[in-house]
Chain A
């Protein structure tokens, strides 16, 4: 049987790229317009921003809140309400999503005080590192998946790992947001990675 290539496959990638760029630029333009309108009090525009970003914001809150859905709900709501209140101070120096992410981390780590009492690795080792009882897949199988291993980490180490390896923060940024030394952040990351690799191997 002879396969007939569709015209779409034959289209060079270089020719398709401008269309993608145009779509992206249009989306960015629409978002900028929504940000401007929302900063002037347009709740519908802010709802559109909420719909566009709730997935990433909630995902971040969910991981920083130990996978606790109720806490993550509250944290995400707090983050968006804070964003609404602070939108006038957004100067557009970074993308709105970047600004919203930083604000979310500040809300979660600052107000919920997850890191106020820094959980050390020693605590986890002496306590036998119990898995969170609320995690739905906590007892399924012997080999942990990445998500379960992540929830097993102590809070401080998990926050550093999530911010550094998932969100792309650097150690000095993590130190500034959490109130720890850069060296502590590096040590937490090192240990978190090692533990994760052991658990996942």
Chain B
């Protein structure tokens, strides 16, 4: 977080269209004294014991449970190992415009790289096509992850990198869940921009923001269609 508020934010097209902050808003007094002294209530709650979970000091079975789990995992791994389907570990960038946790700035999710993209290693950000063309190509389904990655690199994209590395069915489900959650966010963003445009139809920055939101939604939709899980 960047406090105090005097720190400048990188200029975005939207800022220009908003024509700056509301006059008089910055001069509002940020401090406000409560009507009563809150300290007594705070102090009484501070005195209460913290809700720390108590550890039971009973004879612990944890070592045995741990050993049994490791043994089970090893046996399962040996039995289920398939020679032609190694779990591919890699990183993929998905849109995660808002982490679920308020205290977190990015989500880490486990998922498996989809097969159609396996032979696309190295493509994407360094692709030779012009950026605008790559963004607007409708037939570039195979480049969808790269496009999302590219959009994520854009400072005003609203996308954040989500890195995941693991394999298996659960990973694919997690990937689908992330994509669906982000599709919902992108759709909501597009809806909000459209509402803002209704009242300010001449705003060029809102139009650009709408295009950006539409592209994000289309890319996520493309990913969902291309890799339905």
Contact = CB atoms under 8 A, between A and B. Distances in A.
Interface in B178-195: 185-186, 188-190, 192-193, 195
B149 interface: no
Interface of B, secondary structure class, is: loop
Given A59-B31, A168-B2, A183-B209, A73 B38 contact: yes
A109 B102 contact: yes
Contact of A182 (B18, B158, B206): B158
Given A56-B30, A184-B189, A106 B3 contact: no
Contacts of A102: 1
B43 A165 contact: no
5 contacts: A73-B35, A180-B189, A181-B185, A184-B188, A191-B199
B128 interface: no
Given A183-B212, A184-B189, A168 B97 contact: no
> Among the interface residues A62, A122, A183, which one has the most CB atoms of the partner chain B within 10 A?
A183
Interface stretch (B20-28, B76-84, B132-140, B169-177): B20-28
Interface of A: 43, 46-47, 50-51, 54-56, 58-60, 62, 69, 72-73, 76-77, 80-81, 84-85, 94-95, 97-98, 101-102, 105-106, 109-110, 118, 120-122, 145-147, 149-150, 161, 165-173, 175-184, 186-191, 193-194, 196-197, 200
Contacts of B121: none
A147 B45 CA distance: 32
A176 B30 contact: no
A54 B6 CA distance: 21
A77 B216 CA distance: 40
A170 B31 contact: no
A184 B185 contact: yes
A192 to B, nearest CB: 8
B56 interface: no
Contacts, number: 205
Contacts of B29: 59
Given A165-B26, A184-B185, A189-B18, A77 B3 contact: no
Contacts of A120: 192, 195
A168 B3 contact: yes
A170 B2 contact: yes
B210 to A, nearest CB: 9
Given A54-B33, A84-B46, A168-B6, A183 B28 contact: no
Contacts of B122: none
Given A85-B50, A97-B3, A186-B209, A165 B22 contact: yes
Interface in B7-27: 7, 9, 12, 14, 17-19, 21-26
Given A181-B213, A182-B97, A191-B200, 10 more contacts: A58-B38, A73-B35, A95-B3, A98-B3, A149-B22, A180-B97, A182-B98, A182-B158, A183-B190, A186-B12
B223 to A, nearest CB: 16
Nearest to A56: B31
Contact of A62 (B32, B158, B212): B32
